[in-house]
A and B are shown apart, each in its own frame.
Chain A
Amino acid sequence: MSGKTNAVSSRLPVKTKKGFQLNQTVKTVALGSIIPVLLIIIWEYLSNIGVFPQHLLPAPTSIFYMILNMAGEGTLWSHMGITLYRLFLGFIIGVAAALILGAAVGYMKIVESLFDPLIQAFRSIPSLAWVPLFILWMGIGESSKVVLIAVGVFFPVYLNIVSGIQGVDRKLIEIGKIYNFNSFQLIRKIILPASLPSFLVGIRSGLGLGWMFVVAAELMGASKGIGYLLVYGQNIYSPDLIISSIVLFAILGKITDALLKNLESKSLHWRDTIEKKA
């Protein structure tokens, strides 16, 4: 037996795999950048020879300088800061509410019968329909924005938690029962880790919706934030500013999603899924 064991363990190339993966990342990034870089170069060229009118679609360089300018003046950071703050607060509140309700609904039949129909009914309301009501209740200050974002984040997280918990393999739960685990131990040692994958999927799509709602919230009335820059750019007829804001949204959205994705792959490394091939 020991001979076989050695043979098998040497077949698992842990170290070489890491180097391989690093190379792979560089390659993926390089491959993924070819088309965007090409498009930007063409765009720049066409803007410079005047095919794209400057007052409608400014050149990439002028957008880049716009962002650089704002960064130099310092306004960029305060706009970004307030947007991130709203998103973060709304996201945390939404996720926390979804976690508590979703866990209770997923685990206890009675809570599901009590709350799930109501929550599902609320879900069918397009979240933006809440905007007038929230403004009426809370004014156009921070709270209405944060609540709107929280509502947007809540539903995908809630749905994924409930389906994650209800989808836990009965066979794994029986393992806990064989060892006489009580409900609390079953939840902590089996149900929570087993539903972690769908929870993480939930918070990633929740974050996506959070970004959508932060734009909506800032469009509906704000004096700061990247969404405000969009409206302001429209008002002062500055396509540079509008496109800069869009670019900022893209960058920040990508960064926050990458953070969550990183968290996901770190905490779910045990999953037996197809590893991404070249």
Chain B
Amino acid sequence: MLAIENVSRTFSNGETGFKNISLSIQKGEIIGILGTSGCGKSTLLRVLSGLDVGFKGSVLIDGEAVSSVHEKIGMIFQEPRLLPWLKVIENISFGLTNDLNKHEKASKYLESVGLKGFENHYPKDLSGGMAQRVAIARALVTAPEILLLDEPFSALDAFTKMQLQDLLFSIWKQYESTILLVTHDIDEALYLCDRIVILRGQPGMIYSEIVIDQPKPRARGDAYLGQLKDKIIHLLDLSTSL
């Protein structure tokens, strides 16, 4: 589905960004990308999305090389990035430029993120969690096969975060999307992902990869996941850097 071969993208004389990353992702997989700040996680997503084309190496989507934004890609950012002058429903259908059924499609996804009844509200009237739900619906409306999420829930409070993680899980179940989730929340990665890729260093490189073969949905306080968490903390080398 998505093949990344030896991709590098560095800034400021090779000190930031990432280098030599190779990953192969199957359809329907949820991949978590974990790493401390500054190791190029977000840059990696920007490269995969096609927003940043100044990289070396090759990114293939279904065998097709990525040189600009690919139509199979949907992206959700850390901030909702809603257009404040558009109503919720118009924000959702924003990416559907020449679609006659755009209102119906937008309504459908609005419902699937649990915001039915908020069609005509403006972004200023929404809470952070609701705005992020709208952003999720907006990304889904073009029916992308690959969803890229850049720390999508990091600005939300703990409860909203859990709700939206469950929402993301139900979306994955319903649409069988391939998901790449950049996060710095280990619990989030353990809860949702099939594989966790750990980046380390500046520029970031793949340091380790952990496969979680537990079926989903998982319990949040699972003992096995707890063990994995300890392992990841160890891998990230957080103890010495503090």
Binding site for B on A (CB under 8 A): 1-2, 5-6, 8-9, 12, 171-172, 174-175, 177-181, 185, 189-190, 193-194, 196, 269-272
Beta-carbon contact of A171 and B114 below 8 Å: no
Provide the residues of chain A in CB contact with B130, threshold 8 Å. 8
Partner of A175, one of B81, B125, B127: B81
Beta-carbon contact of A12 and B121 below 8 Å: yes
Known: A5-B117, A9-B118. A172 touches B83 (CB 8 A): yes
Partner of B94, one of A12, A179, A180: A179
Provide the residues of chain A in CB contact with B118, threshold 8 Å. 5, 9
Beta-carbon contact of B83 and A174 below 8 Å: no
| Docked pose: A269 CA to B122 CA in angstroms | 9
Beta-carbon contact of A174 and B51 below 8 Å: yes
Binding site for A on B (CB under 8 A): 49, 51, 68-69, 71, 73-75, 77, 79, 81, 83-86, 94-95, 97, 114-118, 121-125, 127, 130, 142, 163
| Docked pose: A271 CA to B114 CA in angstroms | 24
Beta-carbon contact of B83 and A175 below 8 Å: yes
Provide the residues of chain B in CB contact with A175, threshold 8 Å. 81, 83, 94
| Docked pose: A172 CA to B122 CA in angstroms | 16
Provide the residues of chain A in CB contact with B83, threshold 8 Å. 172, 175, 190, 193-194
Beta-carbon contact of B51 and A270 below 8 Å: no
Known: A5-B116, A5-B117. A180 touches B68 (CB 8 A): yes
Provide the residues of chain B in CB contact with A1, threshold 8 Å. 114, 163
Partner of B114, one of A5, A172, A190: A5
Known: A1-B114, A5-B118, A178-B51. A193 touches B85 (CB 8 A): yes
Partner of A270, one of B74, B84, B115: B84
Known: A12-B125, A177-B51. A272 touches B84 (CB 8 A): yes
Q: What are 7 sample pairs from A and B whose C-beta atoms fall under 8 A apart? A: A171-B77, A174-B51, A178-B51, A179-B95, A193-B85, A272-B123, A272-B124
| Docked pose: A232 CA to B146 CA in angstroms | 76
Known: A178-B51, A185-B97, A270-B122. A5 touches B75 (CB 8 A): no
Provide the residues of chain B in CB contact with A194, threshold 8 Å. 83, 85
Beta-carbon contact of B124 and A178 below 8 Å: no
Provide the residues of chain A in CB contact with B75, threshold 8 Å. 178
Given contacts A2-B114, A270-B123, A271-B84, 6 further A-B contacts (CB under 8 A): A1-B163, A171-B77, A179-B69, A181-B97, A193-B83, A270-B122
Report, nearest first, the 6 A-B pairs whose CB atoms are least far apart: A272-B124, A179-B95, A1-B114, A270-B85, A193-B85, A270-B122
Shortest distance from the beta carbon of B156 to any chain A beta carbon, whole Å: 15
| Docked pose: A270 CA to B84 CA in angstroms | 6
Provide the residues of chain B in CB contact with A172, threshold 8 Å. 81, 83
Beta-carbon contact of A177 and B125 below 8 Å: no
Provide the residues of chain A in CB contact with B71, threshold 8 Å. 180
Beta-carbon contact of A171 and B79 below 8 Å: yes
Provide the residues of chain A in CB contact with B81, threshold 8 Å. 171-172, 174-175
Provide the residues of chain A in CB contact with B79, threshold 8 Å. 171
| Docked pose: A247 CA to B117 CA in angstroms | 51
Provide the residues of chain B in CB contact with A193, threshold 8 Å. 83, 85
| Docked pose: A190 CA to B85 CA in angstroms | 10
Shortest distance from the beta carbon of A3 to any chain B beta carbon, whole Å: 11
| Docked pose: A237 CA to B174 CA in angstroms | 85
Beta-carbon contact of A271 and B51 below 8 Å: no
Partner of B69, one of A8, A178, A272: A178
Shortest distance from the beta carbon of B10 to any chain A beta carbon, whole Å: 21
| Docked pose: A179 CA to B118 CA in angstroms | 23
Provide the residues of chain A in CB contact with B74, threshold 8 Å. 178
| Docked pose: A271 CA to B84 CA in angstroms | 7
Provide the residues of chain B in CB contact with A190, threshold 8 Å. 83
| Docked pose: A174 CA to B68 CA in angstroms | 12
Beta-carbon contact of A179 and B142 below 8 Å: yes
| Docked pose: A166 CA to B129 CA in angstroms | 29
Provide the residues of chain A in CB contact with B84, threshold 8 Å. 270-272
Partner of A178, one of B85, B95, B117, B163: B95
| Docked pose: A174 CA to B114 CA in angstroms | 26
Q: Which residue of B lies closest to A180 (CB)?
A: B69
| Docked pose: A189 CA to B122 CA in angstroms | 16
Provide the residues of chain A in CB contact with B114, threshold 8 Å. 1-2, 5
Shortest distance from the beta carbon of B21 to any chain A beta carbon, whole Å: 21
| Docked pose: A42 CA to B121 CA in angstroms | 50
Shortest distance from the beta carbon of B152 to any chain A beta carbon, whole Å: 14
Provide the residues of chain A in CB contact with B73, threshold 8 Å. 178
Shortest distance from the beta carbon of B149 to any chain A beta carbon, whole Å: 13
